[in-house]
Amino acid sequence: MNTPDHAPEQVQTEKTLFAILVVALVICGAALMREGPHFDNVIEGWPFFIVAFLAGALAGYLGWTRAFGFTPLFKFSGANRHPWLAALALGLMFSAAASYLNRTYASPTGRALNGEIDTITEGKGDRWHVTVKMPDGRYQRFLISTDVATALKNAHEVRLRVARGLLGFEFIEGFEPSGR
């Protein structure tokens, strides 16, 4: 017997919204997978990712609760999971969009860092990674192209050109062998 809270139309609407949110989550996840390797080239990339993800998740959760007049509950069943899925999807999308905007609309700073090359490793496709001992002694991994990997193969040091991204986070825009 159907109660007024779970009328057949309401159950179907919940299922439809759930399916739409899952599709959005998959699309946003794919966008982040495509953009994600570029986080390697952001100086202090983890704080950048965390800020973008949490801002998107908060916007998604609050936007869903506001748009649908939903009372926030800490439950993950039925319609209560929709704001959480919206938060996760928007968090992933904000992270991918922030990375893209930060690196696409960047301005050169004229600043460069020199570091000792630790390793150069091949990744998937045309992606290569160089691990560099930074001037402060920490090791950081950067995404590079095949051409850059070839140019750095026999080098011991690398010159890292720094750019200031649109969102204020600096990233490495260029790599070249360095001879001190």
In this predicted structure, the answer to whether residue 125 has a pLDDT above a threshold of 60 is: yes
Q: In the CATH hierarchy, which top-level class contains the domain 108-177?
A: mainly beta
Q: Return the beta strands (E) in the chain as ranges.
A: 107-122, 128-133, 139-144, 157-164, 170-177
Span 128-180, pLDDT tens digits? 999 999 989 999 999 999 999 999 998 999 999 999 999 999 999 999 998 75
The answer to whether residues 43 and 169 touch, using CB atoms and an 8 Å cutoff, is yes
User: pTM for this structure?
Assistant: 0.80
Domain residue extents for the chain? 4-104, 108-177
Span 78-113, pLDDT tens digits? 667 889 999 999 999 999 999 999 999 999 999 999
